[in-house]
Amino acid sequence: MGKLPHFLLILSAFLRAFSLANSQPYIGVNYGEYADNLPAPESTAHLLQSTTISKLRLYGADPAIIKSLAGTNISLVLGTTNGEIPSLATDPSTAAAWVSSNVLPFLPATSIATISVGNEVLTSGDSSLSSQLLPAMQNLKSAIPAGIKISTVHSMAVLSQSDPPSSGAFHSDLAPSLNSILQFLHDNESPFMVNPYPYFAYQSDQRAETLAFCLFQPNSGRPDPASGVTYTNMFDAQVAAVRAALGAAGFAGTEVVVAETGWPYNGDAGEAGATVDNAKAYNGNLVTHLKAMVDPVETYIFALYNEDLKPGPTSERSFGLFKTDLTPIYDAGLIKSEGGAGQVTTPSPAPAETGSGSVPGIALSAPPPADVCVPGRGGSTCGQPVVQNLPTNPDESNGEVERRWRLWKDRRCMVGMWSDFFLYVALAVLVMR
C-alpha cells in the first residue's frame, strides 16, 4: 500500500474514533415494566435509536427487550430482582443458571455492560437480604463473562451526612455490609450506583430558590466552606456528597453512576412541583448540563415510559419521558433531529416559605407511608431522605453553556463528514492502483 492511501486510512480511522468517542455515551434511561400498556420491544428499540440515549437500564432481564436491542449499540444494564438475591447468594449454580439464561444467549449481538444485583437493598429494612447481597454479587461475578461489571444500586439514604457536600458520609450502621461491597467494587473496577432525586429534596424545602437550585436554573448558589466550591444545582451537590462519602470510607476514585434521577410531570395536590414545566426543566437542563461537563457522570433518567400499575401517589406513575404511543410527553432535548435541550427558566409557582427553620438539603420531614413504597421497582424510595450534594462552571450562564454545546456538536458533525471523505478518497486511490 502506498503512503498516501495508507495515511488517508489512518486519518479517517482517527477522525471516526474521535467522532464516536464524543457520542454522548453517558446518557441512559430506565425502563420499568410495572405496566400493562407498554409498546412492543422492537418499537422501543426504534424509539431509542431516534434519540441520543445510548444506555438502557432494566430492573430485570426481559429476553424480548434484550433481543430487540441486538445490533443497536445501545448498552444495557440488566437487573436481578431483590427476590432473586437469596437463591443467587446461597447457590453458585443458580447464579450460573441465571447468567446462562439471561446473558449468554444474547452475546455478543446485544451489548450488556453491567448486572445490577437488586435495587436499594441496604435501605430496604431487610437485614437478612442485606447480608446476602455481597455473596450474590460474588457468585454472579464468578459466572459472568469477562468485561461485564457487577454492581448494586443504592438510594441516597445510605448517606448519614451530606450538607455541605464535602462532609458526605455513609451511615455507620451500614458499615458491615457496605464496606465489603465497596471493596468488591474496588477490586473489580465496578461503579458505585446511586439514585439521587432533587425532586424529593424540593418536597421538604419548597422555597422558590430551592426549586431553581433543583432545576439547574439561575440561583445564588450554595457554598461549601470546606471545599471552597459553590454549588449551582442539587444534582451536582448530591453526586459530590456521594464521592465525599466514598473518599471518607477509603474508596476515593470509585466511579459514581447515577442509576436513577428524574422529575414527575404530574402529581397529587400535596406533591409540590410535579408539573410538565418543571419536569421539562429538570430533565432538559440535566441533559444540557451533562453535555457541557468535561467529565460527565454516567446518568440514567427515570423513566422511559410511565408505569401505570405502580401504587402510591400520582407522581409515581408520572415520571415517563415518552407516551406508550412513542411520542414525547415533553421535549427533554433527547431526540436526535431536535438537537440539544433548551433552558427552561420559568418554574411552576412554589409555595411560600413556611418558616419551619428547615435547612436546605437536610431531610426534616417524615418519610412517606409504607404503602406507597415500591422496593426494587425504581422510582421514589422508601423514606428516602433529602440528601443534597459539582457544577461545571458556576460563572457561566445557561445560555453560554448551550451555545458552547451547539458549537461543539456542529464541530462533531464536521469531523464525521471529513472522516468519511478521507475514507472514500483512500479507497478510491486503492481501487485505481
Residues 256/194, Cβ–Cβ less than 8 Å: yes
Residues 6 or more apart whose Cβ sits within 8 Å of residue 243:
168, 252, 256
Residues 61/79, Cβ–Cβ less than 8 Å: yes
Measured between alpha carbons, how far is 159 from 237 in angstroms, rounded to an integer? Answer: 13
Task: Write out the H or E segment, with its range, that includes residue 180.
Answer: helix 175-187
Distance of CA 267 to the CA centre of its chain: 22
Burial class of residue 331, CB neighbours in 10 A (0-12, 13-18, 19+) = middle
Burial class of residue 369, CB neighbours in 10 A (0-12, 13-18, 19+) = exposed
Provide the 10 A C-beta neighbour count for residue 17: 11
Catalytic annotation, pick one of 84, 120, 307, 402: 120
Query: Locate cell 465489603: which residue?
Result: 180
Catalytic residue flag (residue 209): no
Cα end-to-end span (Å), the chain: 9
Task: Give the three-class secondary structure for 261.
Answer: strand
- The β-bridge partners of 283 are none
Catalytic annotation, pick one of 260, 298, 307, 402: 260
Catalytic residue flag (residue 260): yes
Task: Give the three-class secondary structure for 320.
Answer: coil
Measured between alpha carbons, how far is 41 from 32 in angstroms, rounded to an integer? Answer: 13
Burial class of residue 39, CB neighbours in 10 A (0-12, 13-18, 19+) = middle
Q: Which residues are catalytic?
A: 120, 260
